[in-house]
């Protein structure tokens, strides 16, 4: 009986997380939602900032002396 309760609780928990996320990101008419567009913009801006912050590949100097 405990196993059945655990399985039912697990399925309900999964649906509680899955269904709101599905309706938040997937629209019926096939258009992108505002949340999806915002996430895409954030991803693009973060990838651009990472490429701009990279240091040039030059010789950093002499290695420290071995111990």
Q: What is the pTM (predicted TM-score) of this model?
A: 0.38
What is the per-residue pLDDT for 59? 72
What is the per-residue pLDDT for 43? 75
DSSP secondary structure string, the chain? Answer: -HHHHHHHHHHHHHHHHHHHHHHHH--TTSPPPHHHHHHHHHHHHHHHHHHHHPPP-----PPPPP-
Spans of the chain below 50 pLDDT: 52
What is the per-residue pLDDT for 47? 58
């Amino acid at each position: 009986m405990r196993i059945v309760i655990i399985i039912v609780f697990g399925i309900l928990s999964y649906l509680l997380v899955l269904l709101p996320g599905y309706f938040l990101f997937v629209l019926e008419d096939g258009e992108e939602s505002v949340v999806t567009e915002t996430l895409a913009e954030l991803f693009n801006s973060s990838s651009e900032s990472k490429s701009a912050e990279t240091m040039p590949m030059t010789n950093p100097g002499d290695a420290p002396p071995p111990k």
